[in-house]
Amino acid sequence: MKHWRETAEIIDRIAALASRGRRAAIATVIRIEGSSYRRPGAKLLVEDDGRTLGGVSGGCLEADVRDVALHVIQSRTPQLLHYDTGADDHTVWGLGLGCNGSVDIFVQPATEPGTLEVLSEIRARLDRASAFGISTVVGGPAGLGRMAVLDRDLRHIRSQVESLDGRTVFTEVLTPPPALIVCGAGDDARPLVAYASEAGFAVTVVDHRQAFLAAERFPSAKGLLHLRPDGSAPGFDVDARTLAVIKTHSFNTDRDWVRLFLRTSALYIGLLGPRARADQILREIGAGDDDRLFAPVGLSLGADGPEQIAISVVGELLAVLARQQPGHLRERGQTIHA
């Protein structure tokens, strides 16, 4: 889900560079095997002066990819890179990464006229907030780097590399980020909104106190809504991919928000506060057990203070979306992304 926002930021930067006559290249992860920090579709923008935006690894590949990208900018010729991050210190041209996996990365010019035209179409699709695909020729006798936006049904298609008509094509599927609604715009909501936005959620902050909804308090929020939980609908769309965190610090207001969201198809309803408080709220609204309700909200991390609590909440949100039972990675007997 992080790819949606990352792609938008990179395309906006490319447009700004092109408007000033600058040049750049995009590096995209197209295939991984074994352990890898980023997934297919992760991107790194390299500008003609060497500055970068985004990332294709945890930092171990960026320097080498940057050097290749600078050459691609000058030659205007795309390159397909393969990194074997095994334990052998002599792999990957002596980089000695030791990550026990392999990564294929396609590097292509980003500011050529044809590419800019497709990127403009992609940026418009990102504004529509509906799933779409991008196909890029990454290997074959001709058309290397050619891109096209896909309109076909993508519900059952994953980002993948495939052979089509003698060419190797990477198809990236971009799905809109899940919506997170944070009810309560107090100071302790600020790190939650910031961390969740950075993780890729489209965050809307809701509060009945207009003064708390100042844009400078929540610069990364997608939206700020002045609402009370006293209507038949919350004033925004809620579907099966929507997550909500309720933290107004008012018992009655929290109770009314819980009642409202339980009537929707929201995937997740998190409630800040102790268990006894949550039990009392559920008794007052006559609600039985509901697997969507997480109260108290967050993972058990021994968190202290708004920032640490926000980390525990975002961790729980990610686990729910991934349908993962949180635990230590060292206890997994398989690759991280299996």
pLDDT in tens, 221-240: 999 999 999 865 566 789 99
Question: Helical H runs in 38-136?
Answer: 62-75, 91-94, 113-128
What lies within 8 Å, CB to CB, of 209 at 6+ separation is 185
Mean of all residue pLDDT scores within the chain: 90
pLDDT at 334: 66
Per-residue pLDDT tens digits for 145-165: 999 999 777 767 788 999 988
Per-residue pLDDT tens digits for 41-66: 999 999 999 999 999 988 889 999 99
Calculate mean pLDDT across residues 17-37.
91
94-129 core/surface letters (b: 16 or more CB in 10 A; e: else)? ebebebebbbbbbbbbbbeeebbeebeebbebbeee
pLDDT at 95: 47
- List the structure tokens of 48: 């003609």
What lies within 8 Å, CB to CB, of 331 at 6+ separation is none
Report how far residue 258's alpha carbon sits from residue 247's, in angstroms, rounded to the nearest whole number: 10
Q: Which residue has the higher pLDDT, 335 or 29?
A: 29
Report how far residue 231's alpha carbon sits from residue 337's, in angstroms, rounded to the nearest whole number: 42
- Going from N- to C-terminal start, the domains of the chain cover 2-174, 179-322
Q: How confident is the model at residue 92 (pLDDT cuts 50, 70, 90)?
A: very low
Radius of gyration of the chain (CA): 22
Strands 167-174 and 132-139: antiparallel
User: Rounded to 5, what percent of the chain is helix, strand, coil?
Assistant: 35, 25, 40
DSSP string, 154-182: -TT--SEEEEETTEEEEEEEE-PPPEEEE
Percent of the chain with pLDDT over 70: 91
C-alpha distance from residue 74 to each of 18, 81, 104, 105, 108 (Å) = 15, 17, 22, 18, 11
pLDDT at 125: 94
Calculate mean pLDDT across residues 98-118.
89
CATH architecture of 179-322: 3-Layer(aba) Sandwich (3.40)
- pLDDT for 85 beyond 80: no
